[in-house]
Structures are given as C-alpha cells and as structure tokens.
Amino acid sequence: MTRRTLATLLLIGAAPLIQAQLLSDQDARDQMKYDVQYLASDLLEGRETGTRGEQLAYTYIAQKYASIGLMPYGDSATYLQAYTFAAEPEVGPGTVLQIGRKKLALHEDFYPLSSSASIQAFTKLQRLEFGIEAPDLGRNEYEGVDVTGKAVAFSISSPDGIHPHSKFLAHHDLRARIDNAIKHGAAAVILFNEDPNAEDPRERLSSKVEPCSVPVVFLTKNGLKKLGQDGNPVAIGVEIRRPQRTGHNVVGMIDNGRKDVVVIGAHFDHLGFGDEGSLHRGEPAVHNGADDNASGVAVLLQLARDLAEMDEARGNNYLFIAFSGEEKGLYGSNYWTKHPTVPIERLNYMINLDMVGRVDSAGNMGINGVGTSPAWAELQRIKVGGFTLKTTDSGIGPSDHTSFYLQGVPAIHFFSGTHADYHKPSDDEDKVNYDGMLRTARFIESLVTNLNDDGKVAFTKTQEVSTEDAPRFKVTLGVVPDYMFDGKGMRIDGITDGKPAAKAGLQVGDVVVRIGDKDVTDMMSYMKALSAFSKGDTVPVKVLRKGSEVEANVTF
C-alpha cells in the first residue's frame, strides 16, 4: 500500500491499524518531541490555513488520531471538517499606473492598498499637501480646489508630523482622508510619504479591510520622483483578486458510551511565511510555530493516547479538535461551534491548549477562563506537575476557548507564557521544554479524572475585560466581534453584561452598520467610529437584525 493510499484511508475514517498503549514518561516525551519536530519543520512552511502546509499538518494529525483509535467526528464520517474563508487578497496583472508619459512599475514604483477598489480611472492629477480638511484647526486643503473626477495625491503625514501629540491627530487616519477625498468627488487617490518619521502603509493586502469605490495606490520613494504636476494625465487601474480558500478542523472522539462530552482542543495553524499578525520585520521567512502551537497539538495527541487507556477517566466521552484558522481570527473554532459535529448541549467543558511549550524554571502556568465554572476550583487542589498557577476569570481571550464560552460551555485555556520569539521565525523546536509539556499533560489528566464523577459541570458568565479598550479609544461598546463574518458591517458574536450594548438592547447576531454619523463597513471602520466618542456620549447605533434595520441609543 502506498503512503498516499494509506493517508487517504485514514482521512476517510478507515479502521485504526495500531492500538494505543499507555506510554511511560520517557516515551511520552519522545512522542511529543517527534510530533513537534514534524509540525514545526520547514517542510510544513508555517502551516498557514488554506495552504499545502496546512494540508500536510492535518494529514499527519488525522493519521495520529487513527493510530490512537479515535472515532472520526468530522464531515461525512471522516476526521476532517472543512470550511471556507476569504483568503488574503492578491494583486492582479491589471494593476497599472501611468502619470503623463511615465509608466510606473508595480512594486518598484507603486503598489495598491487594501482599501482600493478593483477599477480603472482615466483622469488628471490634482495634488494636495496632506488631504486634510480641518477648518476648526485653520486648515482646509479642499477650499477653492475642485477635485471632482481627479486623481487626488497627498502625503500620508500631517502639517506637524505623525506623533501622539500632533495637533492634527484626529486627522491621521488614512482611510478617513481617502473617504473624504471620495466625498469631494475624487476618482482616484494617490498617496506618498516625504516624512522620515511616518511609516509607509503595508504593501501586503488584508482581507479584513473593506474596499472603497476608487483605486488607491501608494508611491514608493522611487515612484514619487515620477508624480509630476497638477493637470498631468493619469491612467490608473487596480486589480485585486479576493479568492476563497478552505480550512480544515481535525475532529476525533473517544466514545465511552457517555452522554457528556469533554472537548480538548488546540490550534495547529500558524503564520506561514509571515501572515498578518507576524511581528517579524524583514524578508518573508518560515514561521514554524513550535510553541505556537505545535506544542499544544502535541499535548493534545498525548492526552488522546492516555485517556484512551485510562479507566479512571471513563465518566465522559472525549472529543479532540485540532483547529485551523486560529491565527486569522478563531476561524476554525468559530465554525465548529456554529456547525457542531456533536450537539452543543452535550458538551460538558472545554480545555484549550495554546502555547504550552515554554514552561519556565519556576513552573509558572497560566490558566485563563477559570470564572466560567465553579468546577475550576479543582485546579488549585491539583499538585501533579508542581505548577504555580496564574489564573484569570474571563471566558473571552485571543484563543479558541472563547468560541466555546460564547456558546455557554465552561472553557479554560492553558498557556505557559509569552516570549521574545512569539509570532516570529525564531519560534523553533529546539527551544521547546518537553518536560514542561509532559507535566502539563499529567496535570490535565489529573484534572479530568478528578472531574470524572462530577457529572455535567455548571457554567457561569464572567465579567469581561474588553479587548476594545486600546489606548486610542475612550469608550467601548462591550461586544465580541464575529471575526468570521465577511459581510458589510461588524457582526456581534457576544455581548458583555452591563456594558453599553447590553444596556441598549443589542443582541448577538446583530450587524452594526452605523455608530452616530460614522458608517461601519468592517472592523477597521468600527474601531475608527468608536474612537470618535467619549464616555458619557449618547449616540444612535444602527444594526441589521434578521434583515431589518433597528436603531438603538447607546450611552458610553
């Protein structure tokens, strides 16, 4: 039988070829090391969702599930659950720019921005300085200037630079300046940078930015030399392809014939060669993600091996889910909880393993979400592993347990801590602490066995620490966005009790399309709208609820 044929049989749910056995500590460490070495190898090219690397990873995990003896619990009696998502946009060959008689070279002289429409324009150049309209600050660059049908060009800086104490801080936002140019009738927007203290906009396109109605490009320093003067003819075309891709969760079950199901999850995707979210600056490089999160998957697989053999843990069934799409916004766990392969009401609790490969010498272990059930008091009574626990109550955080908490499932997240290699190519296998991973597995096994006879544990809602309170915001709406939503607006996936949205009667599933006089088309415009208000302001918020417009007054 060829290797390819074997892999295919395993993915479609063929009977396991090898029966799992309880491993010694040394064998367990060796097996987890083998798992991390493969998942974090250059061969998998950073395991970005929707790529060949993801395919190699989910094939490997499915083979491991089969060898352990897990029942397939994905789509159509397989281990895989597929979902589609909007992939990173791509620049097409129809992207061209000519100013006067000078043809500018794509990437060398200019590049389109994520906010650009895919459209052509044939017009004339109209230069502004910064594209700022602020009459209250004594500056209105549009006064006496007709930009109707023109290609408006301006600097991304401001009259007093780009810094937190700028008089024009409220006008630094490039999207706001682009939208204002369009409001004045611009047929295209050309940006450039003459300020050494201002950072050029990202060339890499983002699927999270809503395109505007005109072409938008940025001139490099080389391209700026070719900009020319007012009245020069401009031929501009932008082609941005927005492909759909497919991600995969890997789902398998230990069926002990019980009603209640414990979910053990870990995301297996990472950042590829430097997906959005990378903290690497420089040429593209493979982000192997040994700690984030090959470590969590390796512990998940070890738990599956052990729990399959532990008589003292047979009070529940155990569903193991390796999620993809976590780095892009909890895509995989969001999808599974909205399209569950086991009814949500059967779920007892969820344990999420995300970055457990760097346990420090003091034995510190972070556990988030302990406020989601009184049952988590058991954590403090477990001495196995010798950990010093650092806990937080909130059920909401930047990992896959959040998706389960929002469905009313008690959920905790194990996390061994941050480090200088986070989201960088240097997060490699040789820095992983396998003894710490083994201690983590043994700790969780003790937790599971201690809860084995407790029946279904109680769920409690937690007081949330809003992730919206970035320094530039003075207010928060008190909601959790649905990061999988790719329509127009910002869809609400969770609402915090006692916060403005809850008090105003907004509901999960509402799509926010306007806050005050600010249109909301995507996450970027949502954040921009919030930044315009202060504590105590009362503003109308318009949402789409089951296809109908609903307006509520929100007091921040």
* Residue 539 to residue 548: CA distance in whole angstroms: 20
Radius of gyration of the chain (CA): 26
The region, left, alpha or beta by phi > 0 then psi within -120 to 50, assigned to residue 140 is beta
Give the angle 208-211-216 at the CA atoms, nearest 5°: 120
Instruction: Specify whether the CB–CB gap between 395 and 405 falls below 8 A.
Output: yes
Q: Which of 29, 58, 30, 54 is nearest to 44 (CA)?
A: 54
347 forms bridges with which residues in the sheet? 261
320 forms bridges with which residues in the sheet? 252, 264
- Domains, the chain, with CATH or none: 3-87+244-450 (3.40.630.10), 90-241 (3.50.30.30), 479-555 (2.30.42.10)
Q: Which residue has the tokens 């700022």?
A: 132
Determine whether 2 is exposed, middle or buried from the number of CB atoms within 10 Å of its CB (0-12, 13-18, 19+): exposed
Give the 3-state secondary structure of residue 37: helix
List the structure tokens of 548. 């109908």
* Residue 509 to residue 543: CA distance in whole angstroms: 10
The amino acid at 188: A
Instruction: Specify whether the CB–CB gap between 114 and 206 falls below 8 A.
Output: yes
Q: How many Cβ atoms sit within 10 Å of the Cβ of residue 177?
A: 23
Instruction: Specify whether the CB–CB gap between 123 and 189 falls below 8 A.
Output: no
List the structure tokens of 75. 């789509």
Strand pairing category for 244-254 and 317-323: antiparallel
* Residue 9 to residue 490: CA distance in whole angstroms: 41
For residue 26, the number of C-alpha atoms closer than 13 Å in the C-beta half-sphere is 0
pLDDT for res 473 = 62
| Cis preceding-peptide flag for 293 (omega within 30 of 0) | yes
Q: Which residue has the tokens 């991600």?
A: 247
For residue 54, the number of C-alpha atoms closer than 13 Å in the C-beta half-sphere is 25
End-to-end CA distance of the chain: 65
Q: What is the pLDDT along the chain (556 residues), one digit of tens a residue?
A: 333 333 444 444 443 333 344 689 999 999 999 999 999 999 999 999 999 999 999 999 999 999 999 999 999 999 999 999 988 899 999 999 999 999 999 999 999 999 999 999 999 999 999 999 999 999 999 999 999 999 999 999 999 998 878 899 889 989 999 999 999 999 999 999 999 988 899 898 988 888 999 999 999 999 999 998 999 999 999 999 989 999 999 999 999 999 999 999 999 999 999 988 888 888 899 999 999 999 999 999 999 999 999 999 999 999 999 999 999 999 999 999 999 999 999 999 999 999 999 999 989 999 999 999 999 999 999 999 999 999 999 999 999 999 999 999 999 999 998 888 999 999 999 999 999 999 999 999 999 999 998 899 999 999 864 444 443 567 889 887 876 677 889 989 888 777 899 899 999 899 999 999 889 998 778 888 888 887 778 899 999 998 899 999 998 8
Torsions phi, psi of 543, nearest 5?
A: -130, 160
